[in-house]
């Protein structure tokens, strides 16, 4: 969430690889509170991590990708950002805003060869494990089963713009 972290990340990638072909914007935190229990500070914290960090990194990566004439931005959203959910207002608002950012970038950067899309994973991770207790369901929703969708969206083979790919259990 540090404002200068995005520029440092891009510089680090350029130092290590000489170019920046893809960025997966995957930062996220979740908190469960009803709207009546939530504070503006709760919303600000979730928005800072889930949305502003992605905005900052996008803004830092775009000049490099434009100069290269190509690049892929993959935003990680959530079904909560699409459908909401009980106790997830602040999280859903932040992830919904991320979809708006992705769609704007897709429209603005197509002429520069930069593609922006989102993945909407259903997977058991450190962030979501508290919500899935059944061991069989945990195995079915392993994060590595979402990875092929992310890899395709980040690749030169991806020829779509402004899309949200739902990914769960190896199905897309």
Residue 47 appears among annotated catalytic residues: no
DSSP letter (8 states) at residue 171: B
| Distance in angstroms (rounded) separating the CA atoms of residues 117 and 126 | 24
Q: Give the angle subtended at the CA of 123 by the CAs of 140 and 169, to the nearest 5°.
A: 40
Catalytic residue among 91, 92, 121, 123: 91
Angle in degrees, 0-180, between the axes of helices 40-47 and 89-109, rounded to the nearest 10: 40
Separation in Å, CA 59 to CA 54, 122, 123, 145, 155: 8, 27, 28, 29, 20
The residues that are catalytic are 91
């Amino acid at each position: 969430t540090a404002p200068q972290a995005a520029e440092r990340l891009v510089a680090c990638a350029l130092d290590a690889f000489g170019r920046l072909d893809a960025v997966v914007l995957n930062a996220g935190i979740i908190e469960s509170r009803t709207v009546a229990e939530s504070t503006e500070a709760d919303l600000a914290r979730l928005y800072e991590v889930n949305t502003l960090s992605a905005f900052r990194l996008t803004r830092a990566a775009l000049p490099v990708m434009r100069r290269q004439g190509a690049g892929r931005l993959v935003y990680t959203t959530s079904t909560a950002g699409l459908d909401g959910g009980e106790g997830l207002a602040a999280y859903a608002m932040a992830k919904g805003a991320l979809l708006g950012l992705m769609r704007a970038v897709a429209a603005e950067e197509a002429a520069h060869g930069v593609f922006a899309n989102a993945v909407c994973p259903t997977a058991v991770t450190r962030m979501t494990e508290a919500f899935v207790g059944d061991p069989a369901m945990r195995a079915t929703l392993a994060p590595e089963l979402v990875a092929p969708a992310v890899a395709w969206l980040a690749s030169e083979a991806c020829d779509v713009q402004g899309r949200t790919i739902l990914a769960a259990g190896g199905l897309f």
